[in-house]
Chain A
Amino acid sequence: MSTATGEKEKIFRRIREALSVPAPYPGQHGAHGPNGTEHPTPVEEFSHWLPKVGDGFDARAELFARNSVQLKSTFHLLPDEAAASRTLAEIAQAESWKNVAAHGNGAAGPSTRAIVTALNLPAVWTDSGYDVREMERCDAGISECDALVAQTGSVLVTSRSAGGRALSVLPPHHVVLARRDQLLGDLPAAFSLLERKYSQSYPSFIGFITGPSRTGDIERILVLGAHGPKKLTILCW
């Protein structure tokens, strides 16, 4: 078995010895870098390099919608919860869902419960645990999210906000229930949100989901639904 402390110490010794000679700072031939490890966070700086995102909800929604088309996810911007409920029912019918998986103890628990229950389908609720094989038989997984990111068309989830680790990746169709005020501009904003919301105690899983599952491993030809969901639908109101 591993002699954990012994090996760790040896490794650290080698590291410290190696680092006793400084290496040049990038972009400045021969110069040395800043001392110490306390640096002001440059995350705001990143927004200047990354692709541009317009200001305001409309610009973000338009960008998110455009990205969704390109990613082959389906994005519905809806007026209210009733419209979301109707849209979900329409999808369930069009795809002939027999059963769904969902969670009901998220931040918008009652609303999510109501929408899922209104489908009148057998549901696997993950909140108090679930049987994997039962979830595997579900036609869809319905979850909430922490945020939508316009810059990349991504959905931000955590094990706390989206009913665990598997719900948003095992069933073949993942449906996200989001609110307008969750639509953020760019990735730096998303990471700022994570820090504000969770820095006291991070969930053990945080994930950015960008489009349905995909692969280009066969002749670089795009195929959806490699292992994760083949379909991703985002309902936002």
Chain B
Amino acid sequence: MASASSLQFKTDAKRVAGDLRHRGLIQTALRKYETSRDLQKSAFQDWQGARQSAAERKWDAINHLDVYLESLTSKLEARGTKVHWATTAEQAREIILGIVREKKARSIIKSKAMTAEEIHLNDALEKAGFSVVESDLGEYIVQLRNEAPYHIVFPAMHLTRGEISALFTEKLGSAPTDNPEDLTMIARNVLRDKYITADVGITGANFAVAETGMISITENEGNARLTAALPKTMITLMGLEKIIPKLSDLALFLPMLATAGAGQAITGYNSMYGGPRQPGEIDGPEEYHVVLIDNSRTHLLADPEQRDALHCIRCGACLNVCPIYRNVGGHAYGTTYSGPVGSVITPHLRGLQEWKHLSQASSLCGACTEACPVKIDLHHHLLQNRRNAMQEKPVWWEKDAFHIFGFLATRPELLRALIPFGRFAQKWFHWIVLGGPLDPAKAWTETRDLPPIAPRTFTDEWRARQRAASRKEASK
């Protein structure tokens, strides 16, 4: 029985795949990215060497996760940060709600955090009566539209300037404008005041440095920097797997994240936070909270075959190169993490049977694995998820079909006897039902022609050749 999620995915994927305008938007955005990415990659002296190093550093981090987490958190705590641990999304929400209630927060400003999407934090805060404003421009836009982000790195990739202008006019009362700079300034002006008046700033984390007890945040706009500078209370929400061993590892990860994720040599602002405002410091939050969340990451950790999926640095490169993503877009996935990495980890994080369809919706082309800066074996993990799903709960008619195919394929003479029937059916019956509801090959023939079974198969041709050759030999 197909899961509700898989039905939603198929419907949305089909709709977007048939929407040339939408596909065109994604295509244009991603082509720009490709050009810059190729430029930055070629500037590296050895991109493949960098990938191997990065993969090794993340292997070290994840395979000694307990040791590094202990180091990270004890160093954070030593300088006044309050560290919180959450196994579930619910616990993480409760922790953060607890903090904002205690602070009697009247206004919360937030910078980009996929983990916050994962736990539906904004919803929970709003239901509890707190106002949260997204400060990243793309996130702010989709927040106004009440939508999920479209892409890990480019939340509003699917929107035109016209749509954004109409949105701002409707929600902010601003004058319509065609100019991206004017639109950006509208958002900047609105958000300026929010930074200054917010009591609580919530951020995500790109990396967490075990050696020095720091949270590293990567961005281009400066909104996370302001979120971490002005409000009295700062909260960082991060998945356990963001750990890297040493501060100097960032010398490799920051440029690789930017190159793979955005086609930049390095992003505009890369900041490391080691605690609240320290004695003698001029400014900064009086309180700093770091909320560490598991939410089934340890479940993925326990699968040694796919553990490397936790190496992900959330760059989005795999999304950008995936031909499925490019043709169905981010929202069709119906879950926080889309694209290839989302298709790999979502079955682990949210249930294999319910989400296995994401691992199935792939041609296994391998572009993702090739693009991944930390060498996660993404497309092979999709295969492994399929195997795990079918081992756990086979789809009976599919299993039977493969069983029958196996029976026939290992009995070539039987197959040879059946092929003329296949030809006959193709020639005399198929054209009648072609593409319609009675067509067994409808999935194909709805949009594509099917080639005919050849009048003589390769085996036929081969045998003919052999006969001709032995006749020739005999006549010598």
Residues of A with Cβ closer than 8 Å to B?
1-2, 4, 7-8, 10-12, 14-19, 21-27, 33-34, 36-37, 39, 41-43, 45-46, 48-52, 67, 103, 126-127, 129-130, 132-133, 136, 151-154, 159-160, 163-167, 169-170, 186-188, 190-192, 194-195, 199, 202-221, 223, 225-229
Contacts and interface: CB of A to CB of B under 8 A. Distances in A.
B2 to A, nearest CB: 31
Interface in B61-79: 62-70, 79
Contacts of A212: 268
B204 to A, nearest CB: 16
B260 to A, nearest CB: 13
B47 interface: yes
A68 to B, nearest CB: 12
B63 A33 contact: yes
Interface of B: 28-29, 32-33, 43-47, 49-50, 52-53, 55-57, 59-60, 62-70, 79, 83-87, 91, 94-95, 98, 135-138, 141, 154-157, 159-161, 164, 180-181, 183-185, 187-188, 191-192, 195-196, 212, 214, 220-223, 225-226, 228-230, 240, 245-252, 254-255, 262, 265-278, 281-284, 292, 294, 298, 301-302, 304-305, 307-308, 374-375
Contact of B281 (A23, A49, A164, A211): A164
B282 A22 contact: no
7 contacts: A2-B86, A14-B302, A18-B307, A21-B302, A49-B252, A188-B248, A219-B161
Given A165-B225, A187-B254, A203-B274, A51 B63 contact: no
Given A7-B87, A218-B164, A229-B222, A126 B282 contact: yes
A220 B154 contact: yes
A164 B294 contact: no
A226 B302 contact: no
B375 A2 contact: no
B272 A206 contact: yes
Contacts of B52: 26-27
| Pairs A-B, 9 closest by C-beta atoms | A228-B222, A164-B282, A217-B138, A26-B55, A165-B229, A49-B50, A18-B302, A226-B221, A43-B248
A14 B180 contact: no
A23 B268 contact: no
Contacts of B192: 136
Contacts of A12: 66, 69-70
A167 B226 CA distance: 10
Given A7-B91, A195-B247, A227-B135, A163 B282 contact: yes
B46 A7 contact: no
A14 B85 CA distance: 13
Contacts of B262: 216
Contacts of A220: 28-29, 32-33, 154, 157
A207 B247 contact: no
Contact of B45 (A14, A52, A187, A194): A52
A187 to B, nearest CB: 4
A37 B230 CA distance: 37
B268 A214 contact: yes
A126 B154 contact: no
